Amino acid sequence: MVHTGYNPALVALSVAIAIFASYTALDLGARVHNAAPGRRIAWIGGAALAMGGGIWSMHFIGMLAFEMGMPTSYEAGLTVLSLVIAIGATGGAFAWVGRPGAKAQDILVSGTLMGIGIAGMHFIGMTALHMPGSVTYNLLLAAVSVLIAVTAATVGLWLTFRNHGAWQKIIAAFVMGFAVSGMHYTGMAAATFTTGETGAHASHVTGLAPSQQNLALFVGAAIFLTLFLAMLASSIDQQRVQRELSNSEARFRAAIQAVRGVLWTNDAEGRMVGEQPGWSAITGQSFEEYQGFGWANAVHPDDSRSSVDAWNETVREKRTFVHEHRVRVSDGTWRHFAIRAVPVLAPDGSIREWVGVHTDITEQREAEAELRESNEEIQRYAYIVSHDLRAPLVNVMGFTSELDATREDIRSALKSHPDAERIDADLGEALGFISAAVTRMESLIAAILKLSREGRRSFRPEPLDLDALLQRLADAQRHQTDAAGAEVVVARDLPRITADRLALEQIFGNLLDNAVKYLDPTRAGRITVTAAAVGPRIRIDVADNGRGIAERDHSRVFELFRRSGAQDRPGEGIGLAHVKALVRSLGGRIDVASKLGEGTTFSVTLPRGSATAVYEGVPATSLAAE
Amino acid sequence: MRRDPNVNPVSIVMIEDDEGHARLIERNIRRAGVNNEIIPFRDGTSALAYLLGPDGTGEASAKRPLLILLDLNLPDMTGIDILEKVKANPHTRRSPVVVLTTTDDSREVQRCYDLGANVYITKPVNYEGFSNAIRQLGLFFSVMQVPENP
């Protein structure tokens, strides 16, 4: 057995190379993911050259550092082969892991192959070593060295294809560098060198052959140069990345100015950081004023509570923020803004910042308010008119009755008059017509009044089970349905809806009532009720096979006091007008599809949620004109 | 019109702009056998001038037992305004107020009661109902105790 030792300077050099090579490989490997498809191969090649070449150099110098006190030399062919294996194994592993769509388990597979490749390189490198005597291996230590190689390769790959900061990269480089060196020196420890003439060259132990030292320095210099060039390429690429970043920042800045509305950014918690030119231009707030949560001071105090609540909920759910509130603009007035903000997420899923737009919708809101106002005015008008029409009617009816009461007096006064009977009959006929007309007028006024009230009703939306509600309405009609020999079929599993129960009962009660009322006596009546979700709304169809409505009457049937077809059923022409007013108040719409003689389908489309405009408690003063 | 101040010296103040309604109301009250003096007013201004006096203090109504029949729909102001003033004045607030109007809106009814109206009656167009309501109101008047205003 040969007495062996290590040259400490070369050992240090080999470890330094391992660390530097690891750092370079990490740096280049990190660029593989972000590179354009054509450039990917170049970065993989660079990383493989740095890593594989670095590991090989480390081993080679580590071998040179080995002092075993006998003349040694290397066989060029095998040495080159070991270098090729190192670069090939590393490059293959990098390419496999770095390909688009690679998964976590790919790292394990590639790491194992790369580790075996490195171990192969080591032992082929050992074979290239020519010396007098022979080498035997401790199998256990050799196995440990292979294990270290596999582990080091796997960890190295994992670190390489993971985004990390500069410090993490340096630490990772040290870990990998030591792991690679550990593999080499364990591999060496597994080898036992024996010589034919024991102790013959013992004097050589103390000194390293100068040629061997020069070779080590040469290999070291070569690999450092390679790594340096790789780092240079990397830094040039870094500059390109930086340039692209600054371009995209400039683009973003230009977008901020180009967008109609106000573009702003907030940090994850909602603080304004940095310059917000758009926000400043609209609100007139200075940098100091809007910094942090200062921007909230420009929001209307009445809206800030709801805004904060909505914001907190959005942050919790990491979704797009959609809201409306009033903001004090630079001239001191309040304006309505619609807000949309999207979270920018960090790779780990946390919110990095918010980018939002405030759009001025004041004009839109004003137009809506005007529309609502004029709508309310029409309703109020209908209400007042119907009341004012009623007042003279009380007189007409009252004095008609008074007249009727005096008929008795007239009759007795005219007792002997020859035309007494005719006069009394004429009087009676006239009074009868007046009464009938007044009664009719009263019922018409009552209908208008009811309709105008529907438009002002306040609704109480609640979650409703449509199946049960519609079935109950159908059951309520059972008597009429059975009498007509018809059936009502309500579909199962209807979607859920949140709406005012009474309003829905009135709407569908009316539609079912109509369907039963206007069936065709020549065929068995069949009425079906179905419902389907249409986006955020629900459409409920009430279809019958009744007498149908002529095309020209399709819109007329919804008008007050208008009826269609044969006037052989009792009715005032109020029902559908009432239904339409209710549906509209609920924020929905009603359509009719019908063919004369075949049947009619009424489709009611309602918002699924309680988007129903609720005018809770119209102020009583609006009725003061009564 | 026969008056019996010893039995029931209460005066009925009728504030009603529709002459026909006023006449029908009076006829039916008389039919119910109520013979108290009825003081008619056709607008709010003159009615308030009578109730609160020319100085507006209400002292004119002190020691004067009154029952007020009030229509809400007046040309110069709403009956609600009159109700508010009557119920806010220490000299008139104890006078019973009967609101008799065409409005049957539930919010309006509530508002009148909130302001201190004692009875709220809707005028039915149906004359049978109308005359019945007034006659019953008349019967009600004949048994009702009206406090003297302080």
Domain match, A68 and A85 both: yes
Which residue, of A210, A242, A274, is where some domain finishes?
Answer: A242
Q: Does residue A444 register a pLDDT over 50?
A: yes
Residues A413 and A483 placed together within one structural domain of the fold:
no
Minimum Cα–Cα distance from A622: chain B residue: B108
* Domain assignment of residue B150, yes or no: no
A155 and A97 inside one domain: yes
Q: Shortest CA distance to A86 belongs to which of A57, A43, A127, A63? A: A57
- In 10 A of CB A295, how many CB atoms? 21
B129 → chain A, closest CA residue: A398
Tell me, yes or no, whether B58 lies in a domain.
yes
Residue B11 DSSP code: E
Which residue in A has a C-alpha nearest to residue B16's C-alpha?
A: A391
Would A148 be classed as within a structural domain?
A: yes
Question: Given the DSSP bridges, would you call strands B38-41 and B11-15 parallel, antiparallel or unpaired?
Answer: parallel
ipTM above 0.85, yes or no: no
Question: Is there a domain that residue A153 lies in?
Answer: yes
Q: What is the mean pLDDT of chain A?
A: 80
Q: The whole model's pTM is what? A: 0.47
Query: Is B5 contained in some domain?
Result: no
Within-domain flag for A338:
yes
Strands, E, within chain B: which ranges?
11-15, 38-41, 66-70, 97-101, 119-122
Q: What is the rounded CA–CA span in Å between residue B8 and residue A452?
A: 45
Cα three-residue angle A438-A444-A450, rounded to 5 degrees:
135
Q: Give domain status of residue B27, yes or no.
A: yes
Q: Would strands A66-67 and A5-6 be described as parallel, antiparallel, or unpaired? A: antiparallel
The answer as to whether B148 is a domain residue is no
Contact A387 B102 (CB under 8 A): yes
pLDDT of residue B113: 93
Q: Which of A79, A359, A53 is nearest to A220 (CA)?
A: A53
Higher pLDDT, A506 or A160: A506
What gap in Å lies between CA A623 and CA A354, rounded to an integer? 48
- The answer, for A394 touching chain B at a CB cutoff of 8 Å, is yes
Tell me which residue has tokens 């009498």.
Answer: A483
CATH number of the domain where residue A551 is located: 3.30.565.10
Residue B115 lies in a domain: yes
Q: Is pLDDT at A251 greater than 90 in this prediction?
A: no
Query: What is the secondary structure of A306-359 as a DSSP string?
Result: HHHHHHHHHHHHT--EEEEEEEE-TTS-EEEEEEEEEEEEPTTS-EEEEEEEEE
Domain harbouring B18, CATH code: 3.40.50.2300
- Whether A76 has a pLDDT exceeding 60, the answer reads yes
Asked if the C-beta of A385 comes within 8 angstroms of chain B's C-beta atoms, the answer is no
The domain containing residue A191 runs over which residues?
Answer: 5-242
pLDDT value, residue A196: 55
What is the b/e burial string over A259-287, where b = at least 16 CB atoms within 10 angstroms of the residue's CB? eebbbbbbeeebebeeebebbbebbebee
Q: Round to whole Å and give the CA distance between A488 and A546.
A: 12
- At A201 the pLDDT is 45
- Within 8 A of B72 by CB-CB distance, chain A residues are 626
In a domain, A612, yes or no: no
Residue pLDDT, tens place only, A25-68: 777 777 776 676 677 777 778 878 877 888 788 877 877 777 76
**Are residues A304 and A234 both part of a single domain?**
no
Answer yes or no: is A622 within a domain: no
Same domain for A155 and A235, yes or no, is: yes
Task: Indicate if the pLDDT at residue A372 is higher than 60.
Answer: yes
Taking the Cβ of residue A36 and every Cβ of chain B, the question of whether any pair is shorter than 8 Å is answered with no
The average pLDDT across A208-227 equals: 73
The per-residue pLDDT for range A406-427, each reduced to its tens digit, is 888 888 888 888 888 888 888 8
A598 Cα distance to chain centroid: 46
Indicate whether A331 belongs to any domain: yes
Domain count, chain B: 1
**Domain that includes residue B17, residue range:** 11-143
Residue A312 or A614, more confident: A312
Q: Are residues A394 and A413 in the same domain?
A: yes
From A360, A377, A404, the end of a domain falls on: A360
Q: Report the DSSP pairing between strands B97-101 and B119-122.
A: parallel
Q: Are residues A442 and A557 in the same domain?
A: no
Listed residues A318, A335, A360: the one ending a domain:
A360
By percentage, how much of chain A surpasses pLDDT 90? 7
CATH number at residue A273: 3.30.450.20
Query: Is A159 in contact with A176 (CB distance < 8 Å)?
Result: yes
Of the candidates A9, A17, A46, A18, the one whose C-alpha atom is nearest the C-alpha of residue A224 is A17
Chain A nearest-CA residue for B21: A395
- Residue B45 domain-assigned? yes
Q: A206 lies in a domain?
A: yes
Which candidate from A442, A453, A624 shows the least CB-CB separation from B125? A442
**Same domain, residue pair A212 and A155:** yes
A414 in the same domain as A383: yes
pLDDT at A208: 52
Q: Is residue B2 part of a domain?
A: no
Asked whether residue A393 is assigned to any structural domain, the reply reads yes
Query: Nearest Cα to A55, choosing from A26, A19, A94, A29?
Result: A19
- Give the closest residue to A63 by CA, choosing from A1, A117, A135, A154: A135
Interface test with B, best of A395, A404, A616 (most B CBs within 10 A): A395
Residue recorded with tokens 């201190």: B116
How many domains, in total, are found in chain A? Answer: 4
- Which residues fall within 8 angstroms of residue A127, CB to CB, at 6 or more apart? A75, A78
Structure tokens at A601: 């389908």
What is the distance in angstroms between the CA of the first residue and the CA of the last residue of chain B?
Answer: 28
